[in-house]
A and B are shown apart, each in its own frame.
Chain A
């Protein structure tokens, strides 16, 4: 099959929609366009029935006992905001302490920071060098004021899969709520809110080949029943948890994406893992000084985060501009700070600037992997030829021994 350009290898950022998802959604834009809250006519009933079916599918997808536990939102950012702020506000009479980790998504970290300004205390647990959270550190951070722990299922940059089940045992035993931002991991690694003792979970459609603009928050209804203070005022939709007319077509697409993940996920993940491993092996065989960032085992099948020493990530991305990837080098950001996730893992800033994240997904092929591997090898070599740091490395000069002036 002929290659088509540009090649997309940034599936942690978003995924293309599966055509089967698009197909499922189409009737809900035109013929079945009703408002799911309209109780007085067939248009509304049709929409409502589609939404209720979708709820059950989503519940099954994450191991929830009922569709009633799913609250639809505009996406994962809103789900994370609602979970953290909504729970903190509801349970503030019980305590004012929350625990999260330093590598969470900004929608979790910034929600926590806002709560801190409102008088809450937040502990940000460090991660290990491999990007994994040590459950014992979570346990040690729990106090009698702790109301919520929030840990992601899988990290969006380095793909590390966190020990949610172990953390869930701890939080359940200590009667603390557990929120899990499951956006990156769900469908790609086992996730089950019942067996893992998760009380709140954020998911989104566009990371699993569904549409953008639709997410959901799982809110446990029994043992324990979790309550939230809604963050959006209005018509009282979603059992009062989230007002706003439902995005029916998006919800139908979300459910279809979940169905496909449930039926095809295991085979698909094995195929993606093989492609990812092939890419890694090719790059490491041809290039020296390549470092894998994040744990090799506890890792999303499609994630490959590598640092190519002595080559700057953004410069490398420019050299492979027909391939969509991302870099931990935040050279384009005004702050010039590299990835906070890589820094939190204790990675040297130089290596953070030299990192590239490949995110493989459903539609990547072996031909693409081979093409990308060859291209990256060629361009890394070219950029190392013009890198003063690589020359120093070859001359045996330790770059760390030089007094660099920060600028």
Chain B
């Protein structure tokens, strides 16, 4: 099967490979796919106070199309607001990379990874807000008394 030039480009020069500290409150992590299926994508976002994705990183176990889809996804969501990034669809990725029908699932996985990372970030933010309003209500001395430890929550799934 021949790969498109764009797939080859992203595969040979993947953008934004790396790891953000998943423990940080401003980082959302999405881990989707399964080793048994031959693709696992981990996509992470770092979001600022304005809800803008300042950084995006990925690591992917999978074929060239899966690596290219996640590389492209990180490129596209960087600098976007969360809502905007959440609207990115798999068909946009598939079209841009000219994926053949058997590889459409790679773009679906990339979309899932973005959504999963956003969800993880939002969950963390809600937990933080709940924690600070709790601290506020009790007029307690210091929120440090109950430090929140962000667990290594591994959310693998759609």
Measuring CB to CB, which residues of chain A are less than 8 angstroms from any residue of chain B? 310-312, 314-315, 318-319, 329, 331-334, 336, 338, 348-350, 353, 385-391, 399, 402-407
Contacts and interface: CB of A to CB of B under 8 A. Distances in A.
Interface string B1-43: 1010000000100100101000000000001111111111110
27 contacts: A311-B61, A312-B63, A315-B61, A315-B63, A315-B67, A319-B11, A329-B38, A331-B63, A333-B102, A334-B102, A348-B35, A349-B35, A349-B36, A349-B38, A386-B58, A386-B67, A387-B61, A390-B61, A399-B35, A402-B156, A403-B157, A404-B33, A404-B36, A404-B40, A404-B156, A404-B157, A407-B37
B87 to A, nearest CB: 21
B125 interface: no
A318 B7 CA distance: 11
B154 interface: yes
Given A386-B67, A388-B61, A331 B38 contact: yes
Contacts of A350: 35-36
Contacts of A315: 11, 61-64, 66-67
A142 to B, nearest CB: 35
A282 to B, nearest CB: 24
Nearest to B67: A315
A131 B107 CA distance: 36
A406 B32 CA distance: 9
A387 B59 contact: yes
B109 interface: yes
B17 A387 contact: no
B90 interface: no
B62 A336 contact: no
B60 interface: yes
B31 A388 contact: yes
Interface string B145-158: 00000000010111
Interface in B42-59: 42, 58-59
A318 B109 CA distance: 20
Interface residues of B, number: 35
Interface string B102-124: 10010011000000000000000
Looking at A314, A329, A386, A406, the one whose CB has the most chain B CB atoms below 10 A away is A386
A389 B34 contact: no
B59 A391 contact: yes
A314 B19 contact: no
A388 B105 contact: no
Residue of B33, B35, B40 contacting most chain A CB atoms (<10 Å)? B35
Given A331-B62, A388-B31, A391-B59, 20 more contacts: A315-B63, A315-B66, A318-B3, A318-B11, A318-B64, A331-B38, A332-B1, A334-B102, A348-B36, A349-B37, A353-B38, A386-B14, A388-B42, A388-B61, A389-B40, A390-B61, A404-B34, A404-B35, A405-B34, A406-B37
A318 to B, nearest CB: 4
Contacts of B63: 312, 314-315, 318, 329, 331-332
A386 B60 contact: yes
Contacts of B62: 312, 315, 331
A315 B10 CA distance: 12
A92 to B, nearest CB: 40
Nearest to A348: B36
B59 A406 contact: no
Contacts of B102: 332-334
A399 B35 CA distance: 8
A248 to B, nearest CB: 36
Contact of B38 (A319, A336, A402, A405): A336
A350 B40 CA distance: 10
Contacts of A312: 38-39, 61-63, 66
A71 to B, nearest CB: 37
A403 B11 contact: no
Contacts of A388: 31, 40-42, 59-61
In the complex, the 3 A-B pairs of residues with the closest C-beta atoms, listed nearest first: A405-B157, A404-B34, A350-B35
A319 B34 CA distance: 22
Contact of A353 (B35, B58, B67): B35
A314 B66 CA distance: 10
Nearest to A318: B64
A349 B67 CA distance: 20
A338 B62 CA distance: 13
A318 B62 CA distance: 11
Q: Which of B14, B62, B102, B154 has the most CB of A within 10 A?
A: B62
Contacts of A331: 38, 62-63
